[in-house]
Amino acid sequence: MSHAIVQDLTTSGRLVEFIGQAAREALEPLCGVEVSVLGEAELPWAHPPVGIALVTVVDTSGGGFQAVVWLGGELEALASVAEVLLGERPDGEDEMLQDAVRELTNILAGQIQRHLASVGLQMGLGLPVYVSGAKSLNVGASLASGAAVRVQVGLPDAPTLDVGFAAKEG
């Protein structure tokens, strides 16, 4: 049942809408600026961004549904957003930057979880994991049903980030 819901949302374009709305709901209050959805982005498995945080999602009804939510981008974009949250710019890809990106991804995952609950998907969230400099992400081999969007955060340097949701094929 969960797989069919995700497939229907993907086909109808509603999943892209849910992801874009969740990104705005997660980032705008924390950054204090408008977040614009620029359009769809590719799933990040073959060509991941420089830095990406992922949160595992599981079906809490016991249906075996598995998925992942992510947020990623170039190091400068991630540092720009992290600076707003931390009050200081992280020094490269240090622990402060990774913590900020993981926390943003966790908040994003909660917003996506809320939107998907409105169509009958009851999901539990795992802990976010940060990955840096990967050439590919093996996790993506089975996570082919989903969508991603590119968003621009209205900060002075206009950072862009990719956010998304993908589930295992049913």
Please report, in tens digits, the pLDDT of each residue of the chain (170 residues total). 577 888 888 888 899 999 999 999 999 999 999 999 999 999 998 889 999 999 998 888 777 778 899 999 999 999 999 999 999 999 888 999 999 999 999 999 999 999 988 988 888 999 999 999 888 787 766 777 889 999 999 999 999 999 999 988 65
Q: Over 90-128, what HEC string results?
A: CCCCCHHHHHHHHHHHHHHHHHHHHHHHCCCCCEEECCC
Q: What global pTM score does this model have? A: 0.92
Total tally of structural domains belonging to the chain: 1
Give me the phi and psi of 155, to 5 degrees please. -90, 165
Give me the phi and psi of 72, to 5 degrees please. -155, 170
CATH of the domain at 117: 3.40.1550.10
Instruction: Show the domain range for 150.
Output: 2-167
